[in-house]
A and B are shown apart, each in its own frame.
Chain A
Amino acid sequence: MLKKKLLGIIGAISLFAMTGCASGPTFSEHAETMQPVSAENGRIYIYRVATLGAAVQPKVRLNDVEVGKAAPKGFFYVDRPAGNYEVAASTEAERNLSMTLEAGEEKYVRLEMKMGLFAGHVKPVLVDAEVGREEIQKTKYIGAVDGT
């Protein structure tokens, strides 16, 4: 009886975790339809690999403008002119990433889940392009707020 109850709870938790994950096309599927970045812009890929804390899916902002959501196993990207940018995810403890984008450059920002005292929060971390290109393969396209 106890075993049945336990299995039921584990099943419910697993289902909850799964429903929190991104469900769009994989990176390689979406890559076929992606336009190359224009000469005057750079591209920022933002992705989250971890499913830990799947219920925490804050908005992601770039220079205080909402650009997407921190969905587990999800990615999106935005093209922006060369310049300085700040990436932030809106949780109770906000952690920021500041970086410079050059024209023609690709930046990869991994959204890491950090456990706080009362709730989890999301920390944007800039990673090497080779690391980002590999990790983003494990994610699905969820789209940016501006439609890219």
Chain B
Amino acid sequence: MSDERLILQEPAVIRVTNAAKIELKANTVWNHIGQIDQGDVYRTCDQVVVVNSFDVFEAAIVVSESNLVGFYLPIEKSFVEAKQPTALQFTTE
């Protein structure tokens, strides 16, 4: 965990298998909260992020080399892979 804070410059729409699409809003601030094998984990207080399938899970985003590669479910301690990596336009705060 670090103090790194990123600001998302452009909105993004992410698709996950068997779940509703996930929209990330522009100008949201993302705090680094940890790291997993797939990448760095960030969460925001500026919008709700959920993986909405049969059940609904609050989620954090997982970023690797400026690409969103999936979502981390903190309560379940599991990773949900995005259908394809999506480039995110971040600036540091």
Chain A contacts to B: CB under 8 angstroms:
84, 86, 95-100, 123-129
Chain A interface, DSSP helix/strand/loop, else mixed: strand
For chain B, residues 45 to 73, give those with C-beta under 8 angstroms from any C-beta of chain A.
47-48, 50, 52, 54-58, 73
Task: Evaluate whether A98 and B52 lie within 8 angstroms (CB atoms) in the complex, with A84-B75, A128-B47 already known.
Answer: no
A-B contact pairs, 8 of them (CB 8 A): A95-B55, A97-B50, A98-B75, A100-B75, A125-B50, A125-B56, A126-B48, A129-B48
CA distance A86 to B56 in the complex (A): 10
For chain B, residues 17 to 69, give those with C-beta under 8 angstroms from any C-beta of chain A.
47-48, 50, 52, 54-58
CA distance A125 to B58 in the complex (A): 10
Residues of chain A within 8 A of B75, CB atoms compared = 84, 86, 98-100
Closest chain A residue to B76 by CB distance?
A98
Judge whether A125 and B52 touch: CB under 8 Å.
Answer: yes
Count of chain B residues with a beta carbon within 8 Å of a chain A beta carbon: 13
Q: Name 4 extra pairs, CB < 8 A, besides A97-B57, A99-B75, A100-B58.
A: A84-B75, A98-B57, A99-B58, A126-B48
Closest chain A residue to B55 by CB distance?
A96
A90 CB to closest chain B CB, in angstroms?
14
B74 within 8 A of A: yes
CA distance A61 to B89 in the complex (A): 39
CA distance A96 to B50 in the complex (A): 12
Task: Evaluate whether A97 and B74 lie within 8 angstroms (CB atoms) in the complex, with A125-B50, A127-B48, A128-B48 already known.
Answer: no
